[in-house]
Amino acid sequence: MKQYRNKLAVAAAAALAMPGAAAAGVYTAPAKDSTGKVIILDPLSFIKIDDLSFGGYVIPSSGSGTVTVDAGTGSVALSGTVTQMPQFTPSRGRMMGAGTPSQPVSVDAVLPDKLYLNGNLSSPTWINVTLNLDRVANVNGLYDYNVGADKVFDVFVGGDVTISAGMNPGIYSNEYTVTATYQ
């Protein structure tokens, strides 16, 4: 049995310059750098691909509203009196693992129930959050996954957060831990 915690992605970035040949009477734009990346997984690895983001919202003048990011589909639903700022797109969290096709994987998740202003866990300013994975927990409180025929599996995280009138503005955040144990 091997156990892996969520690790940073191994990424290779290559700078790609766009050379241009200058000719008489021809303008050549300055070269611009760009990057490329690749995700490389070894068998029995588990990495974070995307963070969960509820997006950005304007505090309502009265009442409250709830933002729901569906872990299974990634769809976003708003209810109540929240106004979304389109510059901040909500998205579900995603981890990816690799292994032998059809290999069972047991996933454990430590999901917080609060988001703290500016991520300061000792701050007295926080809001409630309900987080969940894209599967239903088994009787042991773990989540059952299987490695696909393509030798990978995904774990998605979503949840609900309520934004209320009178709350302090700022970025509210916290961390969650997802652990994969390969059988």
Specify if 36 maps to a domain.
no
Residue 4 pLDDT: 42
Specify if 21 maps to a domain.
no
Specify if 105 maps to a domain.
yes
User: What CATH code is carried by the domain that includes residue 160?
Assistant: 2.60.40
Specify if 119 maps to a domain.
yes
| Nearest Cα residue to 103 out of 12, 172, 180, 36 | 180
Specify if 19 maps to a domain.
no
Give the range of the structural domain holding residue 108, as residue numbers without chain letter: 45-182
Specify if 1 maps to a domain.
no
Residue-wise pLDDT for 85-124, tens only, equals: 999 999 999 999 999 999 999 999 999 999 999 988 888 9
Per the structure, the count of domains in the chain is 1
Residue 6 pLDDT: 40
Residue-wise pLDDT for 9-21, tens only, equals: 222 222 222 233 3
Residue 21 pLDDT: 37
Q: What is the mean pLDDT of the segment spanning 148-157?
A: 96
Mean pLDDT of the chain: 84
| Nearest Cα residue to 146 out of 97, 104, 96, 95 | 104
Q: How far apart are CA 5 and CA 149, in angstroms?
A: 23
| pLDDT at 7 > cutoff 50 | no
Specify if 20 maps to a domain.
no
143 vs 38 pLDDT, higher one = 143
pTM assigned to the model: 0.77
Specify if 78 maps to a domain.
yes
- Name the band, by pLDDT with cuts 50, 70 and 90, for residue 43: confident
Q: How far apart are CA 176 and CA 119, in angstroms?
A: 12
| pLDDT at 32 > cutoff 80 | no
